[in-house]
Amino acid sequence: MFTWIFIFWFMQINNCVSALVNNISRCYYRISEEFHHEGDVVIGAFFPLHTFHTRKEKPHSTIPYYYLDSKIQYNFKNYQYILALQFAIEEINGNPNLLPNISLGFDFYNVRFTGKYNLDITFSWLTALGQRNYLPNYNCKRRNFSAALTGTSWITSAQIGTLLQLFKFPQITFGPYDLLLSDHGHYPSLYQMAPKDTSLSLAIVSLMVHFRWSWIGLILPDDHKGNKILSDFREEMERKDICLAFVKMISDTWNTYVAKFWENMDETNVTIIFGDIDSLEGVMRNIEQRLLTWNVWIMNVEHHVIDTTDYFMLDSFHGSIIFKHNYRENFEFTKFIKTVNPSKYPEDVYLPKLWYLFFKCSFSDINCDVLDNCQTNASLDILPSHIFDTAMNEESINIYTGVYAVAHSLHEISLQQLQMQPYENRKGIVFFPWQLNIFLKDIEMKDKRSLDWRQTIDTEYDILNIWNLPKGLGLKVKIGSFSANGPQSQQLSISEQMIQWPEIFSEIPHSVCSESCGPGSRKLSLEGKAICCYKCTPCADNEISNETDIDQCVKCPESHYANTVKSNCFQKSVSFLAYEEPLGMALACIALCLSALTAFVIGIFVKHRDTPIVKANNRALSYILLINLTFCFLCSLNFIGKPNTAACILQQTTFAVAFTMALATVLAKAITVVLAFKVSFPGRMVRWLMISRGPNYIIPICTLIQILICGIWMATSPPFIDQDAHTEHGHIIILCNKGSVVAFHSVLGYLCFLALGSYAMAFLSRNLPDTFNESKFLSFSMLVFFCVWVTFLPVYHSTKGKIMVAMEVFSILVSSTALLAFIFGPKCYIILLRPDKNSFNHIRKKTPSRSKNFLKHS
């Protein structure tokens, strides 16, 4: 209901203004552009209230912010500057403790933003002639001038200041702070009331960070202020990884209809507009005309934009955000506005125009006075805020502060004069304007507000949200604040639920060059692009990222592993070749079964120890070999189960010693066969070797050599418990590290040397009679043994973790099984299945006399 009432009221005002424009009174052109408010001491006020146009085309006729005819443009909101000046002067004149018996007045001059005209009115005011005939250094009306108030544009202040500084005339500017005007070499008598805005870039960038906007547009005036703020923004944005999608600089010769200026404007959803009202007026008007409703505009001042048509209810600036200094609201000023009317201030030439436009008053054709047939209860506070705002804006506050600065300076001068000449009876105050400079440089204003107060204001901002839907509503709602003096995490305060965004957005707008990289991935910069433009790449193996948009993934500790989506690290479980696992259980069962089979063969040989085939194959060596093979099978059990230091040492020592004894026994058997059939020594020597069992000494000798190698190994670099965290995903494999790789390979090399020696001895006796041809089985078993361990080395080094351990166990079992199967398998076959061949009659038929002698000694 409120919205429709407002729309109706808004259209009524527009229709009223439109009707008046078509039949405008001649009094608008007869009434002067300047007026005077009398006082003992006068302040010069140079405010931009209306501008004369030289355009041939007729401007738009229905303007709520400005009133335009074919020649004149009025800015109604700037009339608040005159009221702020009037309000401050009335307060001071009514204060008995400040400038007693001295009244302040002011001279108002309209500023047209042309240098020649501004110098003209300034010179006219200084000479007090009231006409355009100048007498330099003369004040014809003998008026006490104190200071000049200038603004809002720094250009206007600089133009007027060029003349005033020749006379060291105090000048107070109420527009935005400007670095050029702070140069006391060029403007020694100029004082700026506005704070410096040193924290504005930080405040706006903090808002970007809060909403995660990283792809931002920037529109600036192409002057020293624009270049300075561009540098500040870039510094802050680089610190927060925010990038500029584009930078549009507005020059003095800027043409709003240049298509190139509006290119790439849709690349981002958020654009910062920085500048003062005067430098950005054309851009703001053009944005309004183009209905750029897809952008969130971030602004530093409350711009007064122009409605170009009544046909659209949408507004380009609805949902925009404004940063303004945190001034305390002056409620007395709002009360003062309610009392303002043309009869109260008859010298004010602009009040009749406002009453004529908005309250249906009419001018007298004789003297252009407003008649009494006006709307009842006419007051400026009933006008909509988009036409006239009763709340003090920043410029009005600076005017108010500047007037008090002048008043305090005059008060100090009057006190000095009173102290120097206390008994002289005189009226008023006698001073030169340049004397105020001494006090304006370091003065305290009303409520003890000093320059330190302005520095505090410089670090604190209110954040406003524009509610302009339907178009013309013009509400500015405070949604947050920023204080640079607070802790970094508490500098920005935002109430998101109060924000109204542009109509195109149903939620918080998104403004990034590239979509965020989620957990499990990282940003990868694109060559030649801004840092905000990137692509996402998954984290490497065992690396994670549990945040969005990170530059580097984090590697998991050795004891942890990354989950499948690479967003978290989890504790790895301990793993080893356990008996409970299928592989460990199978290997253990095979080892036990083969050990039992070897024990069974030992039993067969013991039971049939007196048979020819057992005696012919050297019973003692056969027993030793079978016992060693049993230990070879059983030593593989050391490799299964959770490793410990003792188990790691026993793994290698028992394996090395057991296999060395087995191979030494095989070598002794092969040498024995060769001595019996192949050696051409004298019979006495062969008989001694056979009787003394000389080849049997090979076993302890070879074993001692291997024990010596193992002793050196254990003394220098013994095996130890190690962890493999990389082979199996999510597992830490506990295994035995060999310690010295050289020693391990020396042990294997020595075993292979014994196997080659046995193979060579067996090969020499390959052509013996079939009955005693054990050498064929010895050579074949050694060949298999040698092939197994030569193959083991490359396979062992190409595997990791539990598979490596299982590979070594498998090689032990296969090589031991080869010795058992090929050496004792044929004998067991004859003993158990062909007993007819295990008899002396069978042996005598096939054995020569030398063989009989060997059998006898065996």
The proportion of the chain whose per-residue pLDDT surpasses 90, expressed as a percent, equals: 19
> Does the pLDDT at position 774 exceed 80?
no
Q: Report, as an integer, the average pLDDT of 726-754.
A: 84
The helix/strand/coil state of 165 is helix
**Beta-strand runs (E) in 274-330:** 296-299, 321-325
Give the pLDDT band (50/70/90) at residue 66: very low
Which of 54-58, 572-576, 758-762 is predicted least confidently?
54-58
Q: Report, as an integer, the average pLDDT of 357-372.
A: 72
Inter-residue contact 67 to 73 (CB < 8 Å): yes
The helix/strand/coil state of 243 is strand
The helix/strand/coil state of 573 is strand
pLDDT of residue 6: 45
Give the pLDDT band (50/70/90) at residue 30: low
pLDDT of residue 830: 85
CATH code, residues 2-197+329-454: 3.40.50.2300
> Does the pLDDT at position 533 exceed 80?
yes
pLDDT of residue 422: 61
Q: Which of the listed ranges 22-31, 72-81, 401-410 does the model predict with the highest average pLDDT?
A: 401-410
Q: Which of the listed ranges 284-298, 302-316, 576-590 does the model predict with the highest average pLDDT?
A: 576-590
pLDDT of residue 143: 65
Fill in the DSSP letter of residue 562: E
**Distances in whole angstroms, Cα of residue 12 to Cα of each of 281, 374, 615:** 26, 16, 133
Inter-residue contact 674 to 694 (CB < 8 Å): no
pLDDT of residue 855: 45
> Does the pLDDT at position 195 exceed 70?
yes
* Distance (Å, whole) CA 130 – CA 456: 42
Asked whether the bond before 352 is cis by omega within 30 degrees of 0, the reply is no
Inter-residue contact 574 to 583 (CB < 8 Å): no
Q: How many CB atoms lie within 10 A of CB 731?
A: 18
Q: What is the mean pLDDT of the chain?
A: 79
> Does the pLDDT at position 81 exceed 90?
yes
Q: Which of the listed ranges 488-492, 536-540, 754-758, 802-806 does the model predict with the highest average pLDDT?
A: 536-540
pLDDT of residue 515: 87
> Does the pLDDT at position 694 exceed 80?
no
Q: Report, as an integer, the average pLDDT of 290-307.
A: 73
Give the pLDDT band (50/70/90) at residue 217: very high
> Does the pLDDT at position 150 exceed 90?
yes
Which of 114-118, 145-149, 270-274, 296-300 is predicted least confidently?
114-118
Map 680-732 to HEC letters. CCCHHHHHHHHHHCHHHHHHHHHHHHHHHHHHHHHHHCCCEEEEECCCCCCEE
Which of 7-16, 567-576, 642-651 is predicted least confidently?
7-16
pLDDT of residue 365: 66
Q: Report, as an integer, the average pLDDT of 292-310.
A: 68
Token pair listed for 686: 């062969």
Q: Report, as an integer, the average pLDDT of 541-561.
A: 87
Inter-residue contact 174 to 402 (CB < 8 Å): yes
Inter-residue contact 310 to 11 (CB < 8 Å): yes
Map 352-421 to HEC letters. HHHHHHHCCCCECCCCCCECCCCCCCCCHHHCCCCCCCCCCCHHHHHHHHHHHHHHHHHHHHHHHHHHHC
Q: Report, as an integer, the average pLDDT of 780-794.
A: 82
Find how far residue 115's CA is from the centre of its chain.
48
> Does the pLDDT at position 767 exceed 70?
no
Architecture (CATH level 2) of domain 200-299+303-326+458-498: 3-Layer(aba) Sandwich (3.40)
Which of 123-132, 590-599, 644-653 is predicted least confidently?
123-132
> Does the pLDDT at position 396 exceed 70?
yes
316 or 220, which is more confident?
220
Any idea where the domains of the chain sit in the sequence?
Answer: 2-197+329-454, 200-299+303-326+458-498, 521-571, 616-853
**Distances in whole angstroms, Cα of residue 38 to Cα of each of 193, 345, 369, 683, 698:** 25, 12, 20, 155, 134
Type of residue found at 831: I
pLDDT of residue 134: 60
> Does the pLDDT at position 500 exceed 80?
yes
* Distance (Å, whole) CA 128 – CA 125: 5
pLDDT of residue 430: 79
* Distance (Å, whole) CA 166 – CA 148: 14
Residues 122-133: pLDDT tens digits? 888 887 655 555
Which of 335-339, 395-399, 456-460 is predicted least confidently?
456-460
> Does the pLDDT at position 257 exceed 70?
no
> Does the pLDDT at position 743 exceed 60?
yes
> Does the pLDDT at position 543 exceed 50?
yes
pLDDT of residue 850: 47
pLDDT of residue 136: 61
**Biggest alpha carbon distance in the chain?**
168
* Distance (Å, whole) CA 809 – CA 386: 91
Of 431, 456, 385, which Cα lies nearest the Cα of 13? 385
Residues 662-677: pLDDT tens digits? 888 888 887 777 766 6
CATH C-level class of 616-853: mainly alpha
Which of 208-217, 238-247, 661-670 is predicted least confidently?
661-670
> Does the pLDDT at position 451 exceed 50?
no
Q: Report, as an integer, the average pLDDT of 454-472.
A: 76
Give the pLDDT band (50/70/90) at residue 119: confident
Give the pLDDT band (50/70/90) at residue 31: low
* Domain 2-197+329-454 and domain 200-299+303-326+458-498 have a common topology: yes
Which of 168-182, 209-223, 436-450 is predicted least confidently?
436-450
> Does the pLDDT at position 448 exceed 50?
no
Mode of pairing for the β-strands spanning 171-173 and 50-52: unpaired
* Distance (Å, whole) CA 625 – CA 603: 13
> Does the pLDDT at position 23 exceed 60?
no
Which of 110-124, 173-187, 300-314, 435-449 is predicted least confidently?
300-314
206 or 394, which is more confident?
206
> Does the pLDDT at position 632 exceed 60?
yes
